Amino acid sequence: MHEIFQGTSVIAMVSLARAADAVPLASALLRGGLRVIEVSLRTPEATAAIQAIGRHLPDAVVGAGAVLTGADVTRAVEAGARFLASPGLTPDLVAAGLGSDLPYLPGAVTPSEVIAAREHGFSLLKFFPAAASGGTEALRQLAPVFPGIAFCPTGGVDGETASGYLALPNVPLVGGGWMAPAEAIAAGDWAGIEERARRACRLRPH
């Protein structure tokens, strides 16, 4: 997990209605400097998109997001995902994620969820939905209670708020899709996506 995310401050989170958009989108993100791409499994084309990116763009680190079940873990592994991410965690999902041998980023927002994740050996957690769960103030209060636990906030994080999260001592990276909104993907605005990715790539933890 740390090897994949080393030097990464922003994970590009994308949802693709058409697998045909996967390679040009990922290429634009790579040109902008974002190499870690999380493809949401919420669409029927997601696994085909992960396969296409992995096949054609070996420099991209493509993972599967919105992993909710053991079946999702299987789909992601078969598609060639290089990491898994979930918005929460359950015992069955944790077992499937750990059993996949892929780096796995489960979600936790409450103290009880963080404790449960820590008991399974996780030290990096997704914090989703960040904005609706207290945002930077919630993470600031979790920091002294859970030393050694880091978070990747997603959900409501954008180019305006990302720097505030990255200023926190327990936030080494954030995730969001503001650099590749659905309308830009649908329009094939790869230049615009590349430019927003380039700006996102300049964000760094403090």
* Lookup: tokens for 76: 């992601």
* Lookup: tokens for 84: 């898994």
Show which residues are catalytic: 38, 126
30-68 CB burial, b ≥16 within 10 A, e <16: bebebbbbbbbbebebbbbbbbbbbeebeebbbbbbbbe
* Lookup: tokens for 136: 């930077």
Residues in the chain: 206
